[in-house]
Structure 1
Amino acid sequence: MEIVDVILPLEASEDAAAWKRAAAKRLGIPEKRVVETRLVKHSIDARKRPIKVQLRLEVGVDQSLPPAVDPTWEAPRLPQGAKEVVIVGCGPAGMFAALRCLELGMKPIVLERGKDASARRFDLAPILRKGTVIEDSNYCFGEGGAGTFSDGKLYTRAAKRGPVRKVYETLVAHGAPQRILIDAHPHIGSNLLPNVVMAMRRSILEAGGEVHFQAKVSGLLRDGEGVLRGVSTTDGREFPGDAVILATGHSARDIYQMLARESVLMEPKPFAVGVRIEHPQPFIDHQQYHLRKGETRSDLLPAARYGLATKIRDRGVHSFCMCPGGWIVPAATENDEVVVNGMSLSRRDSPFANSGLVVTVEPADVKSFEDEHGILAGIAYQKAMEVAAKQAGGGGQVAPGQRVADFLKGKVSPDLPEMSYFPGAKSAPLHEIMPKGVVGRMQEGLRLFDRRIRGYAGREALLLGFETRTSSPLRVPREKESLEHPELRGLFPCGEGAGYAGGIVSAALDGMRVAEAVKG
């Protein structure tokens, strides 16, 4: 078997016969010697016309390839007296920590404040149709975490943090499309992810772990020496364990409040806030694929994406969680706020493209909140924006909106373009509502990005407020080697909520790594 990289024109990229010809040419052998090829990596180079497709192929020379082996997941039988690990949170960090615990012979006890993914679906209807947030079951909280209903992008730059391939294979073993093992920018889709996370939960239960829903953690259980030995929940239950992995995600603000009450050391960290920006998907397709006037995207091409970043006056301005062919969705976790996020289905066939457009906020930028809120100043900063969005929207989950062209001119939009956001939007002066340090930098960033993607700041571009949950404003510190909290023994901070990840894959990798640290 040989491994070769080949480049083919777009129209030949799905043609197995073309793969054989290209592989034979690449290896310098007659085509008849190539018995079989198998695709192992696929990426599109759309930087200029004609669009090229880069393929990595397994090639059977003079013989067939060995049969492909589908990924599976299994764990050994739990030993008697297995170490019990309480895992707070059932997002990617918590679920992958639980699976890794089982592989290592430890029993995970997963606590999730929200509902299982099946029941959680029904709790999204009130927020979409009535603007009413069910505060422990929504786009952020519940089985699978925020990622379950917000796109399922798996592309990551976290390859140095651990075995990314194992994360993908675990997802495939639980029902994710095999294609995520091949695509350079893998994506599952919010229509498929719920079944994947439910299958992962079944694996945890069948291997001897526990998963408890509607188990909202409210307190810490310490032994006589001050070591953490478990947690308590709002309904009075106690869950003892030999260690506690804290994997709550970045929106569990009550957990930060509880840690502050318990005098658990936390540290401020940078985060980012801004808006969702939305364009018609055909516009992004034309710009990114260099289509001619009247030309439409080929069926062989996915909905085009983009990534934009710059630095303005020592603060980053960048796109975030770009959703081609997607929708903007309400991601509030309380009823006095409006928060927006993005999602897409596996087909990515919405007529709109949206992305977060955010500006970095440093701890120095939230000092005005410190006198009242102390270590929670960053959370108060986020919350102030979310409450302002609620007031500007005027009710329910109606979001404040503004055309980009008007935002740059500092004037209210007389009307708003068509949009994907189901609860709807109300024209509002986002340039007055957002913090001034964010507004000025975002305006400069938009003008720069409009030179990179012509028309990015055009009349059909819409801003909706506010995107505030890009990451946690706090880090729960941990020691470099043991990954244990430096002051509270038995506590293992993990994932996005603790400040150590930024997406599904990096959170999953961190969950696995922390489970290994607990094992010791």
Structure 2
Amino acid sequence: MKKELQFVLSPKEAYDEEGFRQVVTRQIQPGKEDDVVIRQVRRSIDARSRDVKINVTAEVFVNELPPPLIRAEKNYPHVSQSEPLIIVGAGPTGLFAALRAIELGARPIVLERGKDVQSRRRDLAAINKEHIVNPDSNYCFGEGGAGTYSDGKLYTRSKKRGDVRRIMEILVAHGAREDILVDAHPHIGTNKLPVLVAALRQSIVDAGGEIYFETKVTDLVIQGNEIQGVVTQSGDKILGMGVILATGHSARDIFRLLDSKQVLIASKPFALGVRIEHEQALIDSIQYHCENDRGPYLPASSYSLVQQTMYQKKQRGVFSFCMCPGGFIVPAATAPGEVVVNGMSPSRRDGKFANSGIVVAVELEDLDAYHKYGPLAAMRFQQEIEKSAWVAGGKTQTAPAQRMVDFMDKRVSSTLLPTSYQPGLASVGMDDVLPAFVAERLRQAFDAFGKKMKGYLTNDAQIIGVESRSSSPVRIPRDKDSFEHPQIARLYPSGEGAGYAGGIVSAAMDGERCAEKLLEKYFSKRIIN
């Protein structure tokens, strides 16, 4: 017999395994001889009232064998002798496109400009400690993409793009905790992601797919209106039935290459702002209504904020992005001469600080002075802001920063607070870094956020700049049904870099869909199901 039960529990009852079992047992009152299996299938935190509650959905099996928690397995067909397709980029989009291609019988050839996940660590250390940016191996480029060294958030609103549960199960099959199938806002953690990414790669290789690291695509093989393959920096020409372009939102050289070859691309709106850093204990006290600490069962609290602002008669949204509880801020530049910041968290989210991007929507009408750059207009604007941050910070990876109330009052901070950002901070008036339409909207939003979250607006928090890579400033167009580029046949733009995803799960789903669409049209075996 199977039952599905709903509970509203205390944190201890929900998160302590034995305590939860006692709650369920009291309700179902099984017989002494009954064999009972209990498992949580959904769990979410309700912190609206002073006593935080956990909403839990559970399945209970009495004298019945429960079905497997996940359907996904790592038993992929061997495709080494099959027809190849080319995938440019080994982030979530590229890796999941490769796995889906293998499931459908094709042989993926994945080309990644950066290094494998372990080798990347040395280059990340060089950015943090020596302020040296390797343009091909950094927090954005390398195996697993920007998502590898991140908080590893797995929630998405992009339900229409694919099967979210399927993506989660594949991650669990490759080493992620089963908790990601249960929690309403699951995450993996930067300390766990490298092992998981390496396992995904191993599945591709074991099945006969190919992955080449430190292999940068520098040209496209196009005949007429059809792409036949790519050319790498070593001059190798790699051909296949089609190309999935999964390069991520920071591959500016690819955008320039497409533009130079007159392949249709378009400038698109993106977002620009700062990272804000509070002590995690303060965010916990606001969100959980606790004075000192949140206790042993509740996870580090997060927040999601949005505010409409008005500046020069134009309304724009300001919103939190990639909030990292118990995390740290990292340097995410992809070239010398720029400063970019991002956030990440370990799986336990047990760091002293909470940080979040707070970004302003930038529309194309805000960029009149850049329209002369055509489809690269927003990208050029983005570059200039990142360069101004680099100059303001002292032309190293030291980031410009300002205490929050000082920013509101347009006063350079006499001192800065301790920070999780390893390269260090420079006290700067952020109005010297950010355009006025961004800075003024941030002030309006911070004032509103302080009213929504009492204590959020404080000089015991600081803003650090700039957060400029929340989304791609370029869109590579594709047909809404076939996913194929409207001008170049067999070219499938995919993921965040093409403007069609916004995180690990949505990028993975988009990669899968592109692989399916490409193979449906061009794979000679036609075994799509």
Confirm or deny a common fold (TM above 0.5): yes
Q: Any conservation in 2 of the 1:24–1:31 contact (CA below 8 Å)? A: no
1:269 aligned onto 2:252: no
CA shift in 2, pair 1:127/1:17, >3 Å: closer
In 1, Cα distance between the equivalents of 2:125 and 2:26?
A: 55
Aligned CA distance change for structure 1 residues 48 and 490 (closer, same or farther; 3 Å) = same
Q: Post-superposition shift, 1:389?
A: 0.4
Q: CA RMSD in A?
A: 1.7
Question: Where do residues 181-196 of structure 1 align in structure 2 (5 Å cutoff)?
Answer: 181-196=181-196
The answer (yes or no) to whether the contact 1:326–1:350 under 8 Å persists in 2 is: yes
1:155 alignment partner, SS class: coil
Classify the secondary structure of the residue corresponding to 1:324: strand
| Partners of 2:357 and 2:467 within 8 A in 1 | yes
Distance 2:157 2:207 in 1: 31
For residue 22 of structure 1, report the CA deviation from its aligned partner. 4.5
1:231-246 alignment runs, 5 A limit: 231-246=230-245
Letter in 2 for 1:133: V
Map 1:379-390 to 2 at 5 A.
379-390=379-390
Query: 2:299 pairs with 298, 302, 310, which one?
Result: 302
**Equivalent-residue separation in structure 2 for 1:296 and 1:201 (angstroms):** 40
What is the 5 A alignment of 1:100-249? Answer: 100-223=100-223, 225-249=224-248
- Pair 1:86-2:83 in alignment: no
Shift of the 433–79 alpha-carbon distance from structure 1 to 2, 3 Å rule, reads: closer
What letter is aligned with 1:461?
A
State the AA in 2 paired with 1:491: L
CA distance in 2, matches of 1:14, 1:503: 27
Give the SS at the match of 1:117.
Answer: coil
2:42 aligned partner, one-letter code: K
Q: Deviations over 1:319-375 (max 9, x none)?
A: 10000000000000111001000011111111000000100001111220122x221
On the 8 A contact 1:275/1:464 being kept in 2, the answer is yes
Is the 8 Å Cα contact of residues 386 and 468 (structure 2) preserved in structure 1? yes
TM-score by length of 1: 0.95
Q: CA deviation at 1:15?
A: 4.6
* 1:230-256 CA distance string (max 9 Å, x none): 011122111111100000000000000
Q: Secondary structure at the match of 1:389?
A: helix
Q: What TM-score comes out, normalization by structure 2 length? A: 0.94
Q: State whether structure 2 residue 403 is matched by structure 1 residue 403.
A: yes
Distance 2:286 2:155 in 1: 22
For 2:182 and 2:451, locate their aligned partners in 1 and report how far apart those are by CA, in whole Å: 33
Deviations 1:283-334 (A, max 9, x none): 0010000003xx3111101111001001113211001000000000000011
Change in CA separation of 1:131 and 1:15 when aligned onto 2, cut-off 3 Å: closer
Deviation at residue 199 of structure 1 after TM alignment: 0.9
Matching residue of 1:441: 441
CA–CA distance in 1 between the matches of 2:18 and 2:424? 49
Contact 2:337 2:395 in 1 (8 A): no
SS at match of 1:220: strand
Q: CA deviation at 1:83?
A: 3.0
Q: Distance in 2 between matches of 1:511 and 1:455?
A: 41
What displacement does 1:72 show?
A: 2.1
Query: Matches of 1:261 and 1:69 in 2, distance apart?
Result: 46
Report percent identity of matched pairs.
50
Distance 1:67 1:497, change over 3 A: closer
In 2, the alpha carbon distance for the partners of 1:336 and 1:209 equals 37
Which residue matches 2:514?
A: 514
- The unaligned stretches of length 5 or more in structure 2 are 521-529
CA contact (8 A) 1:275 1:463 kept: yes
**Unaligned residue ranges in structure 1 (runs of 5+):** none
1:354 — aligned with what? 355
1:78 is paired with a residue whose SS is: coil
Measured at CA, do residues 160 and 22 of structure 1 come closer, stay the same or move farther in structure 2, by a change above 3 Å? farther
Aligned in 2, Cα 1:444/1:63: closer, same or farther, shift over 3 Å? same
Amino acid at match of 1:444: Q
Code of the aligned partner of 1:324? P
Q: Give the secondary-structure state (helix, strand or coil) at the position aligned to 1:48.
A: coil
Alignment partner of 1:332 is 2:329: no
CA offset at residue 226 of structure 1?
A: 3.0
Q: Which moved more, 1:68-77 or 1:48-57?
A: 68-77
Q: Distance between the aligned counterparts of 1:270 and 1:169, measured in 2?
A: 33
CA distance in 2 between counterparts of 1:463 and 1:213 reads: 36
Q: Which moved more, 1:153-162 or 1:184-193?
A: 153-162
Quote the Cα distance in structure 2 between the aligned partners of 1:31 and 1:327: 50
Q: 1:9 to 1:236 in 2, by over 3 A?
A: same
- Closer/same/farther in 2, CA of residues 191 and 79 from structure 1, 3 Å limit: closer
Alpha carbons 2:267, 2:374 under 8 Å: kept: no
Question: Which one is further off, 444-453 or 68-77?
Answer: 68-77
